[in-house]
Amino acid sequence: METTQRTVNGFKPEDITATINALKEDPALAKFQWRARNKWISGGHNRSRIQDFYGGGKEDASRTEPFVVDNAEPPILLGNNEGPNPVEFILHGLAGCMTTTMVLHAAAHGISIDSVETSLTGDWDAQGFLGLDENVRNGYQQVNVNFKIEGDLTEEQKEQLISFAKKSPVYDIVTHGVPVKVGLQEAEAVI
């Protein structure tokens, strides 16, 4: 006889519980180090390779191939559209992380969601980046995130889902300054 495990929003509640219990038992398992390696191609075009990371108390080997992501600039910013630009990737990362965080926490609370769509806008003024006006910030002046959430949900539940989304790690990164250390890597010797 085949048994089907129940899922909520694509997650198995028992997997969520097991993960939470494992982290409560050994908080060191919650420590992760994410990695990306980037190489400049030409002009505003560069490419990142994302594969290995540390998590769950060990180096992860689940990714046999790297994710390869190009980013570039549109022609108005002197590029050739080889990929989205880095500030657009921030919107992508924010949308993805807030959405995943929302549906995971909803599943952990037994709240079923039919669909979530997110639209984001980021207001940016190139004068800061180009050093034309020192009073203009280099990054976004404002980011707007709007969710369209469907399901058999009350308005209170939808507000609870928004509060879940704000638990997103990328939301935290974007809304609170994160220390970033910048340095030089020694060049490898050519043999």
> Can you give the pLDDT at residue 67?
96
Domains annotated on the chain, with CATH = 85-176 (3.30.300.20)
Q: Which two tokens stand for residue 95?
A: 């949308």
Res 13: pLDDT? 86
Q: Return d(Cα 34, Cα 175) in angstroms, integer.
A: 19
Please answer whether residues 20 and 14 qualify as being in contact, where contact means their C-beta atoms are separated by less than 8 angstroms: no
86-108 and 13-25 helices cross at what angle (nearest 10)?
100
What is residue 103's predicted lDDT score, i.e. its pLDDT?
96
The pairing of strands 53-55 and 115-123 is: unpaired
Going residue by residue through the chain, which has 191 residues, state the pLDDT in tens, using 9 for 90 and above.
Answer: 555 678 889 888 888 888 888 888 998 999 999 999 999 999 999 999 999 999 999 999 999 999 999 999 999 999 999 999 999 999 999 999 999 999 999 999 999 999 999 999 999 999 999 999 999 999 999 999 999 999 999 999 999 999 999 999 999 999 998 999 999 987 666 65
| Helices assigned H by DSSP within 9-145 | 13-25, 86-108, 126-129
Per-residue pLDDT at 186: 79
Give the sign of the dihedral formed by CA 173, CA 176, CA 179, CA 182: positive
Ramachandran category for residue 23: left, alpha or beta (phi over 0 → left; psi -120 to 50 → alpha): alpha
The span from the CA of 78 to the CA of 158, in Å, is 42
